[in-house]
């Protein structure tokens, strides 16, 4: 099988020696080309070139969730076509690796490589759904280019936390779970809309053209799978029913007062695959095909842990059977 290995040399949990060993292991079973990323968006460009070239059958992403996201967007530059596009494989090298772990891969890079080689020999693969975020027609952001995400997106509070983490990483701080917790606290203390949010949800209901509207949301998390993320080794499930075999799930909160944070924070920390957070300020929707989130004032926006800057409106689409993954 002709394959391209896209390597992020800055991946958090891999060293040059580890990457060299993994490359040799993969090359024993694949006709392998190796490319290291050199700038933000390079993994997307490499995957797009591999797809358009027509000879590559498999693209392996060695890195964290950001690298995987770029590779996926390169593979799907011209839209989903799982029957003709190269397959995707993932070797986790980041600090959290949500997408790889949601697929059932080991979080250890060496063990994950062994699992990948076993899957290739057994010809084991699955087709997964993905989320697509686009600029909303008629809004200030209608010109924003569509972008795919593999496991989550966020509009509002949680995206602000991601943005703060990225700022700290640019200053040389390591991406750790403690760093996320500290930035959560800082984002909360600076949040002006804790008691009444500015996000509005609109989604079509039924076949009559009716629209459901939910206003005054302060935090909105869109999940394409479960869990949403990990705190250390603890999985967090705001939307336990989210699945790679369904559309998108939405979990939103209409209040972030101190009592609300204590209640929903505790529920998130104790969430399970069978029970997520609940309450009068919580909105939980399952298996959505399309919906829009918008705000009068620009709010932070993130996908797969990558902060994309402020937006006023985003339209989300759940696309089933979008990509084949070796697993």
Mean pLDDT of 263-268: 95
User: Predicted confidence band at 56 (pLDDT cuts at 50, 70, 90)?
Assistant: very high
pLDDT at 232: 80
135-163 pLDDT per residue, tens: 999 999 999 999 999 999 999 988 998 88
Q: Quick one: which H or E segment has residue 120?
A: helix 109-122
How far is Cα 295 from Cα 250, in angstroms, rounded to an integer? 17
Of 129, 43, 95, 106, whose CA–CA distance to 229 is shortest? Answer: 95
- Name 4's Cβ contacts closer than 8 Å, sequence gap at least 6: 32, 33, 34, 35, 46, 47, 50, 56, 58, 59, 60, 86
240-252 pLDDT per residue, tens: 999 999 999 999 9
How far is Cα 310 from Cα 298, in angstroms, rounded to an integer? 5
pLDDT at 140: 94
How far is Cα 184 from Cα 121, in angstroms, rounded to an integer? 43
Q: Which residue has the higher pLDDT, 186 or 249?
A: 249
pLDDT at 176: 76
Of 256, 140, 141, 132, whose CA–CA distance to 198 is shortest? Answer: 256
- Name 304's Cβ contacts closer than 8 Å, sequence gap at least 6: 65, 66, 68, 69, 98, 99, 149, 150, 151, 152, 153
Q: Which residue has the higher pLDDT, 189 or 31?
A: 31
Q: Quick one: which H or E segment has residue 130?
A: strand 125-135
Mean pLDDT of 213-228: 96
CA dihedral of residues 203, 206, 209, 210 (deg, nearest 10): -60
* pLDDT exceeds 90 at position 177: no
Phi, psi values for residue 7, rounded to 5°:
-110, 125
Mean pLDDT of 225-244: 94
User: Predicted confidence band at 57 (pLDDT cuts at 50, 70, 90)?
Assistant: very high
User: Predicted confidence band at 194 (pLDDT cuts at 50, 70, 90)?
Assistant: low
Mean pLDDT, the chain, rounded, equals: 93
Q: How many CB atoms lie within 10 A of CB 121?
A: 9
Instruction: Find tokens 């790889």 and name the residue.
Output: 100
250 close to 291: Cβ distance less than 8 angstroms = yes
102-138 pLDDT per residue, tens: 999 999 999 999 999 999 999 999 999 999 999 999 9
Q: What is the pTM of this model?
A: 0.93
**Cα separations in angstroms, 79 against 51, 72, 230, 318, 322:** 11, 11, 30, 13, 8
157 close to 218: Cβ distance less than 8 angstroms = yes
Report the share of the chain in percent with pLDDT over 90.
77
How far is Cα 68 from Cα 89, in angstroms, rounded to an integer? 9
* pLDDT exceeds 70 at position 70: yes
Q: Quick one: which H or E segment has residue 131?
A: strand 125-135
Q: How many helices (H) and strands (E) does the chain have?
A: 8, 16
pLDDT at 40: 93
* pLDDT exceeds 80 at position 195: no
pLDDT at 167: 86
């Amino acid at each position: 099988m002709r394959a391209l290995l896209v390597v992020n040399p800055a991946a958090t949990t891999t060293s040059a020696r580890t990457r060299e060993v993994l490359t040799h292991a993969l090359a024993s079973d694949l006709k392998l080309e190796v490319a290291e990323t050199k700038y933000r968006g390079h993994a997307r460009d490499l995957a797009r070139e591999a797809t358009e070239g027509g000879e590559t059958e498999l693209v392996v992403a060695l890195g964290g969730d950001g690298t995987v996201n770029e590779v996926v967007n390169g593979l799907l530059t011209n839209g989903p076509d799982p029957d003709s596009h190269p397959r995707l494989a993932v070797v986790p090298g980041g600090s959290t690796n949500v997408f790889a772990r949601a697929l059932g891969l080991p979080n250890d890079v060496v063990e994950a490589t062994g699992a990948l080689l076993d899957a290739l020999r057994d010809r084991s693969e699955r087709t997964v759904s993905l989320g697509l975020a686009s600029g909303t027609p008629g809004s200030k952001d209608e010109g924003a280019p569509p972008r795919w995400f593999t496991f989550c997106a966020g509009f509002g509070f949680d995206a602000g936390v991601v943005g703060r983490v990225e700022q700290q990483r640019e200053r040389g701080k390591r991406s750790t779970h403690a760093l996320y917790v500290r930035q959560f606290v800082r984002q909360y203390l600076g949040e002006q809309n804790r008691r009444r949010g500015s996000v509005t949800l609109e989604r079509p209901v039924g076949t009559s053209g009716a629209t459901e509207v939910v206003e005054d949301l302060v935090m909105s998390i869109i999940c394409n799978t479960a869990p949403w993320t990990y705190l250390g080794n603890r999985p967090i499930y705001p939307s336990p029913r989210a699945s790679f075999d369904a559309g998108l799930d939405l979990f939103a909160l209409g209040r972030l007062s101190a009592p609300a944070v204590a209640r929903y924070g505790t529920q998130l920390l104790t969430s399970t695959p069978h029970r997520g957070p609940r309450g009068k300020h919580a909105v939980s929707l399952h298996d959505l095909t399309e919906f829009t989130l918008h705000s009068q004032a620009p709010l932070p926006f993130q996908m797969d842990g990558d902060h994309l800057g402020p937006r006023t409106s985003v339209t989300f689409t759940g696309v089933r059977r979008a990509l084949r993954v070796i697993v």
